[in-house]
Structure 1
Amino acid sequence: MPSNRLSLSVGQAFVAPDRRNHRSSMSVRIPDEAGQFVAKGACAVISDTSSRNAIAKQAGDLSVRGFVADYFSTPDHWDVKTSATRVLRALNGWCYSQSTFVEGGSYVASLSAMVYRGRDAHLFHMGDTLVFRLRGAEFEQLSRDHITDLGGYRYPSRALGLDGSIDIDYMQLPLKQGDIFLFTTQAVRGTLMPSDYVGLIRQDASDLDAACERLAAAARERAQERGYGADQFCFQLVRIDQLPEAERDHPSRIYGDLPIPPELSPGERIDGLEVQEVLSRTAQSRVYRVRDTRTEREMVMKAPSPELSNRNAYLEHFLLQQWVVERVKSPFVARVMESSRPRRYLYYLMVYVEGMTLTEWALRHPQASLAQRLDIAMQLGKAIQALHHRDVLHQRVHPDNVLIDTHGQVVLTDFSACHMRDLDGHRRSRELARQTGLSEHSAPEYALDDNVGRRSDQYSLASTIYWLLTGELPYELSPDRLRSHTDLEQLTYRSARLFNPEISPQLDDTLRRALDPQRSLRFRRMSELLYALRQQEGRGKPRRRDPRRFLSEPANFWQGVAGILLLLLVLSWLLR
């Protein structure tokens, strides 16, 4: 492993005649992929149950396997506490619900999990499993024993699956090279003293498996001397062999400190990529259409502007763009590509989409039907929804950042303002959007320095849809020109039906709500907006009234009956 990365060693030992009947489970996972190891770290977990039934054994195994699998499946930009806490609460809810369907047992287990990331360790603890730290000659218990005495028996409390909601002990610890962490179970209580642990581990700390075997043998011997069973002991050791350099384990640094590419022109090459066309030159970035000379694939290269060499804050975000977007899997979002060669410069690659921007499409297709335009709107909404599912805000939804390929499929591009919703809070997201530039489709909160979030992207999407359907903007005053909250009073919604009579009142009301100047009054979720748009399929055409539906409505039914009776009365009067 590179010298600037965290390095761990592990050892384990069980004491059990039959491992299949052992009530304890433990595991350590150190990811092989460098990017995942930097983003998520490594973890060590131990679980123990107090019951002697098969269900108890399953609870221990499932809790360990479930935590390890689910923790490393959480979004990479979530911090350790957020990821582990959400996983443990989900596991707790599942175990608690499963216990209601079984008899003679329950899915209840004590669990301790420690995540090692960067220069810190994060401990999550429930129940009575034991976690110790050996630093030099100091041996300290880090976990708390949550135990309840009932009728002379001791049971774990605040354990996984014991209740529908759970309190999780959390502790963040700075690491030192040489720290050794011991994970074991409550069964070892009364066997070894702190001095025994220190002596047996230090006897030969280079082989942690052997150290665990020494601990297990000594605990078993001590238990037998005192006349109780020693078939449920387990020991797990984790040693910190090397710490990363300070502040280097950050997702924006996964790709290293590479130089910015120089200004490129068609025909020039860089890392085996030949520039075919300059697509964009801005103060912040350069975008090129390139061809890989080895694979003949055409791609889009985005690189920072050469003038930004000293703007480290922007460069960190530039690296973060690829790190974020490559985790979004959607046919409606531009896909990040890997180069066939190692990179010597700072840039990232995306799939080249042959097509036109939404602005160009609207100019070339003025006679497109309302249904066609709404289909584009739905695809664009799905693209933004895919970003939101990964807690990413796009923040630059605009017709010029939407491509329509030759098959009529929407592809969302330009991630220069994209930001992870939970990484640095609202302020960083808003500042980034303002730095890259606001547009007439930006939500009012960006101009007014208010909190931003998913509903801000919802506003930009609705504004783009409004423009696509009408060719106009929903407000006479562009939101990016707001200067104070009093200016919000000037934002009076202009009905879309004024510019396009084919738009139904229901669709107009949907757009009106998504475009509300007050963020809290918009749709709560993007899915609600998409559902409302989906209900408008076939719109623009007057719908025939179904006579069966007419008669099924009570008021209409009795009105019809009254009319018939009136007609019969008139006929009887005329026939006299």
Structure 2
Amino acid sequence: MDRQLSLSVGQAFVAPERRHHRSSMSLRVPEAGLLEAKGALAVISDSSSRNAIAKQAGDLSVRGLVADYFSTPDHWGVKYSAIRVLRSLNAWCYAQSQHVKDGSYVSALSAMVYQGREAHLFHMGDTLVFLLRGAEFEQLSRDHITDLGGYRYASRALGMDPSIEIDYLQVPLKQGDIFLFTTQAVRGTLMPSDYVRLIRADVSDLDAACERLAQAASERAQERGYGGDQFCFQLVRVDALPEATEDRPGKVYGDLPVPPELSPGDRLDGLEVEAVLSRTAQSRVYRVRDLASQRQMVLKAPSPELSSRNAYLEHFLLQQWVVERVKSPFVARVVEPSRPRRHLYYLMALVNGETLTEWARRHPQASLSQRLDIARQLGKAVQALHHRDLLHQRIHPDNILIDSHGQVVLADFSACRLREGDGHRHSRELARQVGLTEHSAPEYALDTDVGRRSDQYALASTIYWLLTGGLPYALAPHQLRTHTDLEKLSYRSARTANPEVDAALDDALRRALDPQRALRYRRLSEFLVTLREPRRDGDDGDDGGPLGEPARFWQGVAGILLLLLVLSWLLR
């Protein structure tokens, strides 16, 4: 039987009260299959002592990384997977910190993935990682510290900025290597010789070694007058390594080839193609049937001619992970294959329905109420993406499906991308590579910053089209060439094309479709509130509405009580 990677761990924690700790650590060694594909993960995080929610910040960063890293597709490499997860986690922590008054979700973090005969270190902030190999004791991490007003705090930490720079180091492993994870609080207490002596005193019991380190550090801190009440130590020892092999998993794109061009009747990995749903320059979409379960699904794969265009393949791998992270009935759902994949693709649940374009063509007499219901469902789909810090960037009637029950499902994530810093330059470039539409916001054509309000524009433009059958501007925004062209965009009132649209809804559409991104709604929820059904002229809200009967009932009760009060006053 082939040898597998084997690790041992020891931990010790020193804090006055457990609930007040600001550090967190963990080691996860998964089952054999996942261990080979993803490796084992050791992580430590530490938040500032001045952070009111330091415990939550430290715990959340560790739990979030461990959960999301092992949820990435098996054919993603270690570096690609970890960096994707850390960037997503960083964006989420930064966004959540904006809503916290007395604290933040900022924490230093060091994570090491042990896969095969190599270790991969990912580091942010000032947590410490050391390697003890024989008698040599070496620090692997770098201290990112800023000194401000005599107070030293971690810089380049997780959640500190919208974008994050992550230190990466690859380390060849040797049997017997011991890795120490600790926090900046230990600085000024133990010397390298202390670490070596205390760990080597009895390497068979790593928990006892961590306890010795914690006790020695606490005693040294008290002797020198330090605040030595927050120490944590984690030791990871490499007990066994797998046999050396040339065929290691974990390349950036895996070893999976791009599927060839497929036609109805062709078979791939136990799936039979029933129909070709879409062929574009970037991808192929097929309706397929699992030959074992007879289940129908949608298969999406890169175009065969893109097999050498790694930049797009990198994003294609991200698409599946993006959709898996969003749990919403209004967003297309990824399906796990029933057998190992031998080609690069992913599967989605089949929606038995039609595109919004087809629906509008078949229902020209649909009521305003029906159209607004579709608009509200579509808004919830976009909200679900934004809650996970994702930009869709391609909201368009052809990418919206409606099933037989009227359920709206947002699909096509070819331009979907995690929010990032630098004005989302890479997101804008991806959207332009995939192709702009008449519903794309003007900023995509003008090379200016894009963001959530760009999705808001595309959503509002699609809703405008749904309500009126036309576009809000005579000149399509994706055809703009200079910023002066923005002045040519004159909003065409939706009420002109559809008198059923009331003034309030028309004004809301006008604002969400403002050519200047900064002048649109600050939050998407503000726009979605306006998508309620308009009241009829002269309607006071009681007649015929769901609250009309109860309102008349209580008005009658109030009248009777008033009459009884008057009678009792007259009969005194």
TM-score by length of 1: 0.71
C-alpha contact 2:473 2:492 (8 A) present in aligned 1: yes
Of the candidates 44, 64, 69, which is equivalent to residue 63 of structure 2? 69
8 A Cα contact 2:180 2:233, kept in partner? no
- Please name the residue that 2:169 is paired with: 174
- Equivalence map 1:358-437=2 (5 Å): 358-422=356-420, 426-437=424-435
What amino acid sits opposite 1:114 in the alignment? S
Distance in 2 of aligned mates of 1:508 and 1:36? 57
Q: 1:444 to 1:407 in 2, by over 3 A?
A: same
1:52 is matched with: none
1:506 paired residue number: 504
Deviations 1:73-114 (A, max 9, x none): 6798766377369759979998968xxxxxxxxxxxxx9753
Residue 80 (structure 1) aligned with residue 81 (structure 2): no
**Number of the residue aligned with 2:130:** 133
CA distance in 1, matches of 2:332, 2:93: 30
CA pair 45-450 structure 1, distance change in 2 beyond 3 A: closer
Q: In the TM superposition, what is the alpha-carbon distance from 1:389 to its structure 2 partner?
A: 1.1
Aligned to 2:301: 303
Unaligned runs of 5+ in 1: 50-57, 98-110, 148-155, 160-164, 549-576
| Shift in CA distance, 35/273, structure 1 to aligned 2, threshold 3 Å | farther
Q: 1:543 to 1:276 in 2, by over 3 A?
A: farther
Post-superposition offset of 1:308: 1.6
Percent sequence identity is: 58
Which deviations, in whole Å up to 9, do the C-alpha atoms of 1:113-158 show, x marking residues without a partner?
Answer: 5333673342545xxxx956345534669779999xxxxxxxx997
The structure with the largest alpha-carbon Rg is 1
Q: 1:6 to 1:361 in 2, by over 3 A?
A: farther
Please identify, of 508-517 and 428-437, the stretch whose mean Cα deviation from structure 2 is larger. 428-437
The equivalences for 1:18-57 within 5 A come to 27-30=25-28, 32=30, 34=34, 42-45=42-45
Provide the residue aligned with 1:462 in structure 2: 460
Inter-partner Cα distance in structure 2 for 1:351 and 1:21: 43
Work out the CA distance in 2 between the residues paired with 1:409 and 1:262: 33
1: CA distance between counterparts of 2:84 and 2:146? 28
SS of 1:366's equivalent? Answer: coil
Distance 1:291 1:116 in 2: 40
| Segment of structure 1 superposing worse, 192-201 or 524-533 | 192-201
Q: Deviations over 1:14-55 (max 9, x none)?
A: 799x99999898632336385999699541257999xxxxxx
SS in 1 for 2:288: strand
1:119 equivalent in alignment to 2:120: yes
Tell whether the 8 Å contact from 1:24 to 1:234 is kept in structure 2 after alignment: no
Counterpart residue number, 1:561: none
CA contact (8 A) 1:39 1:249 kept: no
Equivalent residue of 2:26, what SS?
Answer: strand
Is 1:544 aligned to 2:539, yes or no?
Answer: yes
* Matched ranges for 1:128-207 at <5 A: 131=128, 133-134=130-131, 137-138=136-137, 172=167, 174=169, 176-177=171-172, 178=177, 180-183=179-182, 193-202=191-200
**Count of aligned pairs:** 495
Paired residue for 1:494? 492
Q: Which residue of 1 aligns with 2:345?
A: 347
Gaps of 5+ in 2: 73-82, 114-118, 155-159, 544-572
Residue 303 (structure 1) shift: 1.2
Q: Residues 112 and 436 of structure 1: is their aligned pair in 2 closer, same or farther, counting only changes over 3 Å?
A: closer
Structure 2 residue 335 is the aligned partner of structure 1 residue 337: yes
Alignment-mate amino acid for residue 44 of structure 1: I
Cα distance in 2 between the residues matched to 1:94 and 1:447: 36
SS at match of 2:374: helix
RMSD: 5.0
